[in-house]
């Protein structure tokens, strides 16, 4: 059997259901072909962040109920290309942990114990990193949607709050993951709820507004290429509402809210 030469090679060999994402400044899907082209030095990394290629690997080998998630930060050279030493060390550790048999092409599944070993490779791994809370929440929301899995248990309460079915001062009971799920799946809202959501932004307290804005940076308004968008007129109104709240925060000297709204609005085309 040929040696394990790359992360893309590993995912191909396991035959796992796979979803890859850029996790630099913003969340964006990444194809296996793009990862392979990067690892074989055919192209530089598209979204370098602090000298790293930051990505999330969400994969579910056959026989497992729940996907495994890796957050990896691969070092880049000055041209944005892979510096392979740490990646290669990680692959060697992967082979040592699982053994060559577990990486046989076409093997139908990985045993539960082996899957646990794969997940444990993130412990004390120099390539592992922890995304900030809003980015992590949006990644889990997007991956759940892409994997045809339900939203989190926090979705219903967040949807009720964001669509004006609960009082404004109920925001402390919200979970960030619920907000991320609603924003990622906002295209599933009815027209009535979509209108209520956009209108709600004008009245929200600053704390939940900032959480929403930082999540929206990863799924920006009026971005035609994103799945789960509202109808176009609502997306445009959503962007206008963010700009209005940002301008109001500027006038009040509220730098934190201003920056959150700027980041969300600035991510939009």
Six-digit token string for 265:
């609005």
Q: What are the helix (H) ranges across the chain?
A: 7-14, 32-39, 85-98, 112-120, 133-146, 155-162, 176-184, 191-200, 206-216, 232-252, 255-266
How far from the centroid of its chain's Cα atoms is residue 64's Cα?
21
Helix/strand/coil for 92: helix
Over 60: is that where the pLDDT of 113 sits?
A: no
pLDDT, greater one: 238 or 66: 238
Question: Left (φ > 0), alpha (ψ -120 to 50) or beta: where does 17 sit?
Answer: beta
Helical packing angle, 7-14 and 32-39, nearest 10°: 140
Q: How far apart are CA 21 and CA 76, in angstroms?
A: 17
Q: Count of CB atoms within 10 A of residue 3's CB?
A: 10
What pLDDT score was predicted for residue 62? 77
Helical packing angle, 155-162 and 191-200, nearest 10°: 70
Six-digit token string for 196:
């209520």
Q: How far apart are CA 168 and CA 180, in angstroms?
A: 18
Helix (H) or strand (E) holding 53, with range, is strand 52-60
Query: CB-hemisphere CA count at 13 Å for 118?
Result: 24
8 Å CB contact between 198 and 233:
no
Six-digit token string for 252:
């009040």
Q: What is the pLDDT of residues 200-213, one digit of tens each?
A: 999 999 999 999 99
What pLDDT score was predicted for residue 230? 86
What pLDDT score was predicted for residue 106? 46
**Which residues neighbour 94 within 8 Å (Cβ) at sequence distance 6 or greater?**
4, 10, 118, 121
Q: How far apart are CA 63 and CA 115, in angstroms?
A: 10
Q: Across the chain, what does the average pLDDT equal?
A: 89
Q: What is the pTM (predicted TM-score) of this model?
A: 0.90
pLDDT bin (cut points 50, 70, 90) of residue 103 is: low
Q: How far apart are CA 146 and CA 268, in angstroms?
A: 21
pLDDT bin (cut points 50, 70, 90) of residue 225 is: low
**Stretch 113-125: mean pLDDT:** 69
pLDDT bin (cut points 50, 70, 90) of residue 45 is: very high
Six-digit token string for 138:
């949006």
Six-digit token string for 76:
């880049």
The alpha carbon torsion through 140, 145, 147, 152 (nearest 10 deg) reads: 50
**Which residues neighbour 48 within 8 Å (Cβ) at sequence distance 6 or greater?**
24, 76, 80
How far from the centroid of its chain's Cα atoms is residue 43's Cα?
23
Strands 52-60 vs 68-75: parallel, antiparallel or unpaired: antiparallel
């Amino acid at each position: 059997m040929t040696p394990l030469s790359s992360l893309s090679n590993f995912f191909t060999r396991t035959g796992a259901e796979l979803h890859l994402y850029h996790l630099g400044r913003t969340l964006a899907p990444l194809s296996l072909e793009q990862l392979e082209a990067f690892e074989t030095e055919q192209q530089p990394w598209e979204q370098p962040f602090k000298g790293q290629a930051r990505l999330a690997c969400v994969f579910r080998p056959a026989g497992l109920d729940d996907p495994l998630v890796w957050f990896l930060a691969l070092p880049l050279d000055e041209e944005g290309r892979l510096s392979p030493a740490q990646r290669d060390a990680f692959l060697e550790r992967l082979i040592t942990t699982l053994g060559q048999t577990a990486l046989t092409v076409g093997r139908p599944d990985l045993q539960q114990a082996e899957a646990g070993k794969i997940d444990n490779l993130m412990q004390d791994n120099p390539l592992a990193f922890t995304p900030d809370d809003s980015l992590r929440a949006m990644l889990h929301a997007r991956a759940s949607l892409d994997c045809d899995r339900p939203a989190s248990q926090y979705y219903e309460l967040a949807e009720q709050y964001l669509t004006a079915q609960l009082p404004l001062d109920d925001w402390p009971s919200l979970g960030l993951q619920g907000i991320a799920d609603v924003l990622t799946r906002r295209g599933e809202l009815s027209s009535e709820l979509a209108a209520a959501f956009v209108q709600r932004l004008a009245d929200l307290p600053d704390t939940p507004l900032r959480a929403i804005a930082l999540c929206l940076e990863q799924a920006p308004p009026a971005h035609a290429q994103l799945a789960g968008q509202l109808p176009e007129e609502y997306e445009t109104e959503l962007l206008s509402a963010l700009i209005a709240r940002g301008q109001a925060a500027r006038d009040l000297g509220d730098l934190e809210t201003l920056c959150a709204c700027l980041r969300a609005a600035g991510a939009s085309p």
